[in-house]
């Protein structure tokens, strides 16, 4: 997320790099990753931070759902903090996978002040590893 040359892999829903390390994502975001040529299945790793402000309005949980050709099991977070959304993927055709994600809660307007962006979750890394 901190490499400006990889920005072409971020398809939509991401904002600029912050603190040279991470990006805010909106409630709907997508990215594309390359797999190795000898792909026998992969593991998706998405490092995220659920900010405390998500829970400021009494929200009890925040859910991240993903899709990589097929639906991926959701991640449910009941506390602020850093998490890794890790899911198994079937072998990829064409060597690339498009991952779309949705977060069911965004920061309330009171938490964003004059920032008019739709802020839902912080993403610090997305990667594929062979199984």
Helix/strand number for the chain, H first, E second: 1, 8
Of 72, 125, 71, 68, whose CA–CA distance to 91 is shortest? Answer: 68
Domains and CATH numbers, the chain: 4-109+117-130 (2.60.120.260)
Buried b (16+ CB within 10 A) or exposed e, 67-87: ebeeebeebebeeeeebebeb
Q: What are the tens digits of pLDDT across the range 64-103?
A: 999 998 999 999 999 999 999 999 988 777 778 899 999 9
Q: What is the pTM of this model?
A: 0.91
Quick one: pLDDT at residue 39?
59
Question: pLDDT band at residue 37, thresholds of 50, 70 and 90?
Answer: low
Q: What are the tens digits of pLDDT across the range 95-130?
A: 788 999 999 998 877 777 788 889 999 999 999 888
What distance in Å separates the CA atoms of residue 22 and residue 2, rounded to the nearest whole number? 6
CA dihedral of residues 37, 102, 46, 76 (deg, nearest 10): -130
Quick one: pLDDT at residue 84?
98
| Mean of pLDDT values over 48-72 | 92
């Amino acid at each position: 997320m901190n490499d400006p040359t990889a920005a072409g892999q971020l398809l939509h829903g991401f904002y600029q790099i912050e603190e040279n390390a991470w990006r805010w994502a909106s409630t709907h975001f997508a990215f594309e990753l390359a797999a190795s040529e000898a792909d026998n299945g992969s593991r998706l790793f998405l490092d995220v931070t659920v900010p405390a402000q998500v829970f400021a309005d009494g929200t009890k949980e925040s859910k991240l759902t993903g899709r990589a050709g097929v639906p991926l099991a959701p991640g449910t977070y009941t506390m602020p903090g850093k998490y890794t959304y890790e899911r198994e993927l079937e072998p990829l055709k064409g060597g690339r996978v498009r991952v779309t994600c949705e977060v069911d809660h965004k920061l309330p307007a009171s938490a964003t002040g004059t920032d008019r962006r739709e802020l839902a979750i912080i993403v610090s890394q997305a990667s594929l590893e062979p199984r």
